[in-house]
Chain A
Amino acid sequence: MARKEQKPPKKRSLGFFGGFALTLKQVGEPRVTTPYPDEKVAKPPRLHGRHVLNRYEDGMEKCIGCELCAAVCPADCIYVRGLDNPTDAPVSPGERYGFVYEINYLRCIHCDLCVEACPTEAITESKMFEFSFTNRSDAIYTKHELVVDEDGLPRHLPWEDWRPGEDQHSSGWMRATSPSGAVEYEGTTQWSAELGYGVRPPEGGQSGRRNDVATGNISIREVERDKISRRFGGKVHGT
């Protein structure tokens, strides 16, 4: 009997009937599930999706065929061949252009080292990851499929799940990261203009200088704010 007192005080638990009360209460609560194929959750600003090859505002391709992306790729999934620009109709403003550009998405690990390595911001990533192929040759994206179209929008391949507005999200990773990783440049525009968009606004990552309206990003805190305060009380500060 004396030993009983040495035991730690009994923790408050639901008890037997508490479990029944709780589960019944949950029936009236809102669902936390997003009905995915019907509606998508907002994607984080730095999501690495499938690549796009960008153009300058005059329609010239940004890629200069330097093969730095292929060199840095840890998964060896990029194949580039450069060619001298034809003098009468140059494809890129530089000396050379990307003549062949292929990415094998069965190998790509979406690390975005190619985006970091690119000297001209030619290759960036969209936020679209919902693509599934049914054969291996579909998995190898050719240059024609990667280069943005005449309006600067990514091309929609039949097996990709693009929703309206999603093609605005390209280059998100670049715009959310400060150049050279230097924190004092965060939120500073240091990139060239793109076809269809001009010079796009920075999407400040940690800083408050993000432009969520322009980039279509919804902070998860923003989404959860109501729910959290209703459940636990208090106020949740949005960003």
Chain B
Amino acid sequence: MTDPLFGNGVDLGVVVIAAVKVLVVFGVLLVAVMMMIWFERKVISDMQNRVGPNRAGPYGVLQTLADGIKLFFKEDLMPDRADRFVYKLAPYLALVPALLIFTIVPIGGVVTIAHHVVELQVADPPMGILFLLALSSVSVYGTMLAGWSSGSKYPLLGSIRASAQMISYEAAMGLTIATVVIVTHSLSTRTIVDSQAISFLHWNIFRLGILPFPLFLIAVTAELNRPPFDLTEGEQELVGGFNTEYSALRFALFYLSEFMNTITMSAVMVTLFFGGPDGPGFHFVRWLWPILWFTGKTVVLLYGYVWIRAALPRLRYDQLMSVGWKVLIPFSLGWLLVVAAFRIGVIWGLAVFVGAAIGAGGLWQAIRVASARREALDEGPPGGGDRTAADAHLRAVPEPEGGG
């Protein structure tokens, strides 16, 4: 269950291996973010008949590096009314969780280096999934405090949206993760990956009946503030959103953490639903294939993210809330019950499935009736002109009744 690296006590070799793992993952993540930003811009431009970045380096690969260098040398501004300490802290609160979440993601199999059994992931805590949930909650603070400490109204509005949105979607995200945990009996990411490694059909996405994955995907997309859920930085309404007042390196940190979160969450999805580094291997360089499989799956998911961004327009705020509360949370809760019942027995499972279906139908009907009623209120009484005409009786001065 625990990390086999620390099984025989901690000596110098163990410390060195752990440090190297941290450094490698840190470097790989930074390079991956660079490539991800380039990848996103290229794919989006492909989907919009454009060329995309093509000036810096071959095919514009170094564009992100150029942007980063530019941001590094720009003037760092701070509004007069900003809360100075929190304003400086917020970008790191956004970045650090993004980096830390990746530490629990298994990016490869188990190798032996100098008689030490090393799992190819930075850390394998027994409560890895809780660590993930905790840190993804912490990353809300980066966004929220950035907006609050800017001392400016648009960032504040953006961050208020962010906190409401993230709280709404965190529940659905936690519930879908709970289904994974129920099936795999473990909170350790390594165990979750190992339990899916039997064959293609044992990946959690199939074992759980596919539905949790789209639920998790939507919840995570909202959690990441990516389109179509990027209301926190809706340019049309909020200038730049929570990071309007940020410039130079601090802005770069937000940008970095946004894309790093995307990569990290794709990696988490691969871990939870797609078997992590699982896939057919070959007999030469045996340690490499799991890493390639993991990378390939992550890239496919990242392409999906970019595709979603290209295809879907931004949600309205009330749509965002109703998707979160009326669709995602009921469905993920219902599916959690169904999965839990199937663990007990098939009869139980089918019974709960039917019960959940009836419940979903009832909920659907309730929402439909409510929205029809609200529409009726918005439109005014049937056949009778506009709202002002309908409300005329409220404004009309009653005729004074004749005395006597």
Interface residues of A (CB under 8 A from B): 2-3, 16, 19-20, 22-24, 26-27, 29-33, 35
Interface mask (B281-314 → A, CB under 8 Å = 1, otherwise 0) = 0000000000000000000000000010011100
Q: Does B403 interact with chain A (Cβ within 8 Å)?
A: no
Q: Which of B307-344 contact A (CB under 8 A)?
A: 307, 310-312
CA distance A2 to B271 in the complex (A): 51
Stretch of B47-55, B73-81, B393-401 on the interface side: B47-55
Residues of A contacting B376 in the complex (Cβ-Cβ under 8 angstroms): 3
Interface residues of B (CB under 8 A from A): 46-51, 54, 307, 310-312, 376, 379, 382
Q: Are B311 and A26 in contact (CB under 8 A)?
A: no
Q: Are A31 and B311 in contact (CB under 8 A)?
A: no
CA distance A33 to B45 in the complex (A): 10
CA distance A30 to B46 in the complex (A): 9
Shortest C-beta distance, A99 to chain B (Å), equals 46
CB contact under 8 A between A27 and B46, given known A2-B382, A19-B311, A22-B311: yes
Q: Are A35 and B311 in contact (CB under 8 A)?
A: no
Q: Are B311 and A23 in contact (CB under 8 A)?
A: yes
Q: Are A24 and B51 in contact (CB under 8 A)?
A: no
Residues of B contacting A3 in the complex (Cβ-Cβ under 8 angstroms): 376, 379, 382
Residues of A contacting B379 in the complex (Cβ-Cβ under 8 angstroms): 3
Q: Are B49 and A31 in contact (CB under 8 A)?
A: yes
Q: Are B311 and A20 in contact (CB under 8 A)?
A: yes
Residues of B contacting A35 in the complex (Cβ-Cβ under 8 angstroms): 51, 54
Known pairs A23-B47, A23-B48, A27-B46; list 11 more (Cβ under 8 Å): A3-B376, A3-B379, A16-B312, A20-B307, A22-B311, A24-B307, A30-B49, A31-B51, A32-B49, A33-B50, A33-B51
Shortest C-beta distance, B57 to chain A (Å), equals 16
Can you spell out 22 A-B residue pairs with CB atoms less than 8 angstroms apart? A16-B312, A19-B311, A19-B312, A20-B307, A20-B311, A22-B311, A23-B307, A23-B310, A23-B311, A24-B307, A26-B46, A26-B47, A26-B49, A27-B46, A27-B47, A29-B49, A31-B51, A32-B49, A33-B49, A33-B50, A33-B51, A35-B54
| Nearest opposing residue in chain B for A16, CB measure | B312
CA distance A20 to B310 in the complex (A): 8
CB contact under 8 A between A31 and B50, given known A3-B379, A3-B382, A19-B312: yes
Residues of A contacting B312 in the complex (Cβ-Cβ under 8 angstroms): 16, 19
